[in-house]
Amino acid sequence: MSTVDTLLNSKGCHIWHTHPENSVLEAITLMEEKGVGALAVVKDDRLVGIISERDYARQVILKGRTSIDTLVKDIMTCQVLVTHPEQSINDCMVLMTEKKIRHLPVMENDKLIGMISLGDVVKEIIHDQEIKIKELENYISWEEYY
pLDDT in tens, 66-95: 999 999 999 999 999 999 999 999 999 999
**What is the C-alpha to C-alpha distance for residues 47 and 14, in angstroms, rounded to an integer?**
15
Helix, strand, or coil here: 65? coil
Strand partners, 116: 104
pLDDT of residue 137: 79
Q: Is the pLDDT of residue 115 over 80?
A: yes
pLDDT in tens, 14-55: 899 999 999 999 999 999 999 999 999 999 999 999 999 999
pLDDT of residue 120: 94
**Which band of pLDDT confidence, cut at 50, 70 and 90, is reported for residue 144?**
low
Strand partners, 52: 38
Sheet holding 17-18, edge to edge: 17-18, 38-43, 46-52
> Percent of the chain scored above 70 by pLDDT?
97
**What is the C-alpha to C-alpha distance for residues 55 and 61, in angstroms, rounded to an integer?**
9
The closest of 50, 95, 56 to 76, measured between CA atoms, is 50
| Mean pLDDT, rounded, for 8-19 | 91
Structural domains of the chain, ranges and CATH numbers in brackets = 4-145 (3.10.580.10)
**What is the C-alpha to C-alpha distance for residues 16 and 1, in angstroms, rounded to an integer?**
27
* Residue 35: C-alpha distances to residues 61, 76, 143 (Å): 20, 19, 46
DSSP letter, residue 57: I
Q: Is the pLDDT of residue 145 over 70?
A: no
